[in-house]
Amino acid sequence: MTFLICYYLKMLVLGIETSCDETGVALYDGKNKKIIFECLFSQADKHSLYGGVVPELAARDHTNKFLPLLKKGLNDSNINLKDIDVIAYTKGPGLRGPLMVGAAFAKSLGFALDKPVIPVHHMEAHLLMAKYDAPELCYPFLTLLVSGGHTILAKVEQSGVYKILGQTIDDAVGEAFDKTAKLLGLKYPGGPEIEKMSVRGKNMKDRLPRPILNSNDYNFSFSGLKTAVLYKVNELKREGELSNQLISNICLEFQNAAIDCLLHKTNKALIDFDLKQVVLSGGVAANKELRRRFSTDLHQGCSAIYPDFSHCTDNGTMIAFTGYEKINLPKEDNKISVNPKWSLEEVDNG
């Protein structure tokens, strides 16, 4: 009897994330608001050899890692596959091949277990993870989503209703971190490496540009910043060896320039739309200097909210949590399909 009561008091949502180079598998109990397990495998070392993600290799590795991760999670938490109530997976945006692997596993499991399958928007899941870790959000609010593939400033009107105010017109900010790190001979992913190096950095005499900082819109541009680093590196190399100190100085200046751009447009949007909260998420929101600047230099009376550090970068929990938030929406059929270019404004909110 106790067992039966417990059974009906749970709603176990399996989350599957494979949009890029992390295989994330997590089980979330929506009724008790509890993570049952989170398993993550990062392919960073594999892609590090190439200085960036190789989509075909990423897809193959998801194929190899998904089932072992799922088995481990279920075994460690003593859960039977049949106990899963719903399966949520990343349908997009992301890399087509890697997305197809996650979609194929999700639909096959749904078919075999006769359980509903929910498609999740990767960037909405990044955002909603802040709701899990910091539930005091009040609509409307602003969100700044900063990852390897996206830089989006959007107004969240109400649950699931997004108005994109601005985005990058070229590279995403995480991509700029990754490409700049590569130029400086640092490992992939570049964001954490640049952050580490910048701690020992000293202010440079020559400042890097802050592209389109004063444009009268909410867009960003980071490719020129990366190119400016390339020119600086070439200049310094002509003068002598690129020492660790010089690399640290460039990292510090690059990071400051990128944060200045993000902060300036965020403040402009907070003022123009009279909003008081901004939710930051995505891999770059794990950057400690960014968090420090968003606490000291944000427009007066406004506050920044983030998921936990561990939930900023890609993970399966954000997909499971978002799946639970969307549990009452119409379920998908068995067809395996993905949407690599899915816009945040097109998510299904019922």
Q: Which of 30, 110, 160, 282 binds ligand KG4 (CB under 6 A)?
A: 282
Segment interacting with ligand KG4 (CB under 6 A) among 130-138, 283-291, 298-306, 323-331? 283-291
- The answer to whether residue 195 forms part of the interface with Zn ion (CB under 5 A) is no
- The answer to whether residue 178 forms part of the interface with Zn ion (CB under 5 A) is no
Q: Which of 189, 211, 307, 316 binds ligand KG4 (CB under 6 A)?
A: 189
Q: Segment 16-35, which members bind ligand KG4 (CB under 6 A)?
A: 20
Ordered DSSP codes for 300-345: TT-EEE---GGGTS--HHHHHHHHHHTTTSPPP-S-----TT--GG
- The answer to whether residue 201 forms part of the interface with ligand KG4 (CB under 6 A) is no
**Total residues contacting ligand KG4 (rule CB under 6 A)?**
20
The CA–CA distances, whole Å, from 107 to 90, 103, 116, 337 equal 12, 6, 9, 9
Q: How far apart are CA 108 and CA 75, in angstroms?
A: 20
Q: How far apart are CA 32 and CA 283, in angstroms?
A: 27
Q: Which of 30, 149, 166, 211 binds ligand KG4 (CB under 6 A)?
A: 149
The CA–CA distances, whole Å, from 312 to 82, 279, 283 equal 30, 11, 5
Segment interacting with ligand KG4 (CB under 6 A) among 6-14, 40-48, 191-199, 263-271? 191-199
Neighbours of 213 (CB within 10 A): 15
Cβ-proximal residues to 81 (8 Å cutoff; 6+ apart), any chain: 74, 109, 113
Residue 115 or 326 with smaller CB distance to Zn ion: 326
The 314-343 contact track toward Zn ion, x by CB under 5 A, reads: x-----------------------------
Query: Which run of H or of E encompasses 278?
Result: strand 277-281
Q: Segment 289-318, which members bind ligand KG4 (CB under 6 A)?
A: 313-314
Residue 283 or 323 with smaller CB distance to ligand KG4: 283
Segment interacting with ligand KG4 (CB under 6 A) among 3-11, 175-183, 299-307, 323-331? 175-183
Radius of gyration, alpha carbons of the chain: 21
Segment interacting with ligand KG4 (CB under 6 A) among 6-14, 36-44, 143-151, 323-331? 143-151
Structure tokens at 208: 């890097």
Segment interacting with Zn ion (CB under 5 A) among 9-17, 144-152, 248-256, 303-311? 144-152
Neighbours of 63 (CB within 10 A): 18
Amino acid identity at 184: L
SS3 (DSSP) at 266? helix
- The answer to whether residue 147 forms part of the interface with ligand KG4 (CB under 6 A) is yes
- Min CB(168)–Zn ion separation in Å: 14
Residue 115 or 126 with smaller CB distance to ligand KG4: 126
Amino acid identity at 327: I
Residue 18 or 277 with smaller CB distance to ligand KG4: 18
Q: Per-residue b/e over 144-171, b at no fewer than 16 CB within 10 Å?
A: bbbbbbbbbbbbbeeebebeebbbbebb
Q: Which of 17, 124, 195, 332 binds ligand KG4 (CB under 6 A)?
A: 195
- The answer to whether residue 283 forms part of the interface with ligand KG4 (CB under 6 A) is yes
Cβ-proximal residues to 44 (8 Å cutoff; 6+ apart), any chain: 21, 188, 189
Q: Which of 24, 92, 119, 190 binds ligand KG4 (CB under 6 A)?
A: 190
The answer to whether 55 touches 98, Cβ cutoff 8 Å, is yes
In the complex, the residues that contact ligand KG4 under the rule CB under 6 A are 20, 147-149, 174-175, 177-178, 189-192, 195, 282-284, 286-287, 313-314
In the complex, the residues that contact Zn ion under the rule CB under 5 A are 147, 314
